[in-house]
Chains A and B, each alone.
Chain A
Amino acid sequence: MRFLAEILLSGLAIGAIYGIIAIGFAVIYKTTGLVNFAQGEIAMIVAYIAWTISTTLSGNVFVVTGGALVAAVLLGLVIERVVMRPMLGEPVFSTVMVTIALAVILRSSINFIWDAYPQALNLGVGRDIVRVGAVGMRTGQIAVIVMLLALLAGFWLFFRYSRYGIAMRAVAGDDRTALLMGISTGRVHAVAWAASAAISGIAGIFFAITYDVSPAMYEIGLKSFPATILGGLDAVIGSGFGGLLIGVAENLAGGYLGSGTKEIAGFAMIIVILMVRPFGLFGQRDIERV
C-alpha cells in the first residue's frame, strides 16, 4: 500500500512537470496551429540559464527564477521573430520541420555553451523532505503540483476573460478573420511564443531543482507529448491534467512492470490514444469541409 502511495505521489509530481510543458505545447498549438517540437529544449536552456545565474550572480531563489524567466520570454520572442515569423503561411510540413530543426540546434548548443556533465541547481529550497501520510515528498515536488494547478486556473481565467486571451482564441479559430477584426496576429503569435517559453521555463526550473540539469533534460519535452495528446492538442486545461495522468501511468508501469516499460509507457499510450480518440480527451474534433 505504501509502495503504491509512493508511486502515485511521485507520479503526480513528475506528471505536473509534464503537465506544465504540455500547457506550453497547447498554448502554441491553440494560437498558431503548430506543434513546437523544441518545447523540451527551451525548458532545458532556461534551466541551464537558471543554473548559470545561481553559480555566477546570486543563489537567491527570486533572483534566479526571475532572471531565468526574463531570459525565457526573450528566447521565445527571438525564436518567434527570427525563425517562425518568416514561415507564416507556409505548409504545416515546413513549419513543423523548422521546429524540429530548431530543437536539434538548441539541443546541441548545450554542449557548446555549457558542458556535457549533469549539474545540481541548488537554491537552498525544494529538497527538504516532508511527510505526506506515510510517504516522504520533496517540497519542490509539492510546489510543482501547486504550480500546475495555479497555471491551469490562471490560463482558464486568461482565455475566458482577458482581452488578449479572447484575441488568442480568435486567432486560433480563424486568423484571417481575426486580422480583419483588428487583431494583430503577429503580436498574438509573439505573445504565445513568449508565454509558452516562460511556461516551459518554469517546468525546466522545477525539474532542475528537484532532480538536476543535464544535456539529456530535453527528454521531458518528448515525454510531455503523450500528455498533450491525451488532453487534446488544443485544450490547455486538458493538457495539464493529461500530464498528471501520464505521470502516474508511467510510474505505475515502472513500478509494476519494470523500469524499461517506464520509458516507453507514455509513447505506447500515444499510439493507443491516437487510435481511439485522435483529438484527445478534451480536444475539439476537427470537422473538415471539402
Chain B
Amino acid sequence: MRSGTYKETYGELIALTDSRLVWFWGAALMVVLAAAPYLVNAYVLSLMTIMLITVVGALGLNILTGYTGLISLGHVGFLVSGAYGYAVVVSRWGLPPLAGFVAAGVVPAALSLVVGAPSLRLRGLYLAITTLAFAFIIDNLILQAGPLTNGARGITVERPDMLGLSFASDAAFSHLCLAAAILTLFGTLNLRRSRIGRALVAIRDNDIAARAMGINLNAYKLLAFVTSAFVTGIAGALYGINLSYVSVEGFPFLLSIEALAILIVGGLGSPLGAILGTIFIMLLPEVTGSLLRLFGTQAEALFSTGAQELKSTLYGLVIILFLRFEPGGLVRIWHDVRRLWVHWPLRF
C-alpha cells in the first residue's frame, strides 16, 4: 500500500505526474493508438479519427470553459471559421497545407478578439448569449462572402501533403489527428501548470479575488479566448478535411452542445475528463443504436430516420443527468474507483 506522498520542491508540485507507471501506460497507449490504424477495420478507424479530432476541439473549449469558467455556446463558430480558413487558403488560393493550418488557427483567434472584447464585461449568462449570437453571425457572414467562400456551395478540400509526408490514406490521416491530439493534450496540460493556467483557474474560482491578487482580468480572459479559438480552429480544419468538404451545413449548432456535453460528462477543467468525455459521448449514439437494433426493425427504422434527433436527445439527457447526479463527471468517478482500488479495504 502506498503511503502519503511528500513534495519538497515547487518543481515536484507542478510536475505532470509523479508516477512512472502513468508515463509507462501513457506511452503504451500511444503505441497502441499508433498501431491501431493497421489493425482495425475501416469503420472503427473512421470512428477513431473523428474521436481524435473531437478531443482537440474539446481540449480547446476546455481552456475557455473548463479553466477560465466562461461559457461559450459559439464554439461551432470557431470550428467553422477554422475549417474555412484552411479551405480558402489551401483549396482556393493553392498555398501549402502548413499555411492552411496556420490560417485555421489565426482566423478564429482574430475573430475571438472581436467576440471576446465586448464579452469581457459580461459574466455567465450574458457571455453564453453573445457567443450564441456569434455562432449565427459567422454562418451568415460565410454565406454572404460568396466570392471568398463559395457561399452555400462550400469548398472541397483534399487530404494534406506536407512536411514531406502524404496524409492521403486513412491510416496516415488518423496519425496526423493523433499527433494533433497529443500536441494539444500536452499543450493544455502544460498551460494549466504555468503562471497563465493558474491565473485562468483563479479567475474561474473567484474573479474578484483574482483581480485583488494582481491578475489582469481583461488580458487573461482575452488570452483564454484567443488560445481556445486557435485550438478549436485547428480541430475545425481537421474536421473539414475529414468531411473532405467544408460547408456551413457540415457544422451544425449541435456541435457546440456536443462539446459542452463532452466537458460536463468528462468533468469540467480536466484534460483527462475531456478525453473520457469524448469517448463516452462519441460512443453513446453508437451503443444506443446497436441496443435499439436489438429491439427489431421498427426501432432500427426510428434510429435511421431520427439519428440526429436521437443524438441531440441523448446529449441533452446526459448533460442533465450528469449535472444532477455527478457534477464532477467521469474523471471524478475514475478518481473514486482508483482510490477504492489503492486503499481497499480502508475507506481513505
Contacts and interface: CB of A to CB of B under 8 A. Distances in A.
Interface of A: 34-35, 37, 83, 86-87, 90, 92-94, 96-98, 100-105, 107-109, 111-112, 222, 225-226, 229, 233, 260, 263-264, 267-268, 270-271, 274-275, 278, 288, 290
Contacts of B128: 35, 37, 96, 100
Nearest to B124: A92
Q: Which 10 residue pairs spanning A and B have beta carbons closest together?
A: A267-B133, A108-B309, A105-B316, A101-B319, A101-B316, A275-B118, A104-B316, A108-B312, A111-B309, A92-B124
A267 B136 CA distance: 8
A105 B251 CA distance: 19
B71 interface: yes
Contacts of A260: 140, 143-144
A221 B309 CA distance: 19
Contacts of A278: 121-122, 126
16 contacts: A92-B124, A93-B71, A94-B327, A101-B261, A101-B316, A101-B319, A102-B316, A104-B316, A105-B320, A226-B133, A264-B136, A271-B115, A274-B121, A274-B122, A275-B118, A288-B208
A93 B72 CA distance: 11
B116 to A, nearest CB: 11
Contacts of B315: 101, 104
B26 interface: no
Contacts, number: 121
Interface of B: 69, 71, 73, 115, 118-119, 121-122, 124-126, 128-130, 132-134, 136-137, 140, 143-144, 208, 254, 257, 260-261, 264, 302, 306, 308-310, 312-313, 315-317, 319-320, 323-324, 327
Contacts of A274: 118-119, 121-122, 126, 129-130
Contacts of B260: 97, 100
A181 B33 CA distance: 61
A30 B320 CA distance: 23
A35 to B, nearest CB: 5
Given A105-B313, A267-B137, 6 more contacts: A108-B316, A112-B306, A233-B125, A274-B118, A274-B122, A275-B118
Nearest to B327: A94
A100 B129 contact: no
Contacts of B312: 104-105, 107-108
Contact of B313 (A97, A104, A268, A288): A104
A100 B135 CA distance: 15
Contact of A112 (B134, B144, B309, B316): B309
A94 B73 CA distance: 14
Contacts of B134: 267, 271
Contacts of A233: 125
A35 B125 contact: yes
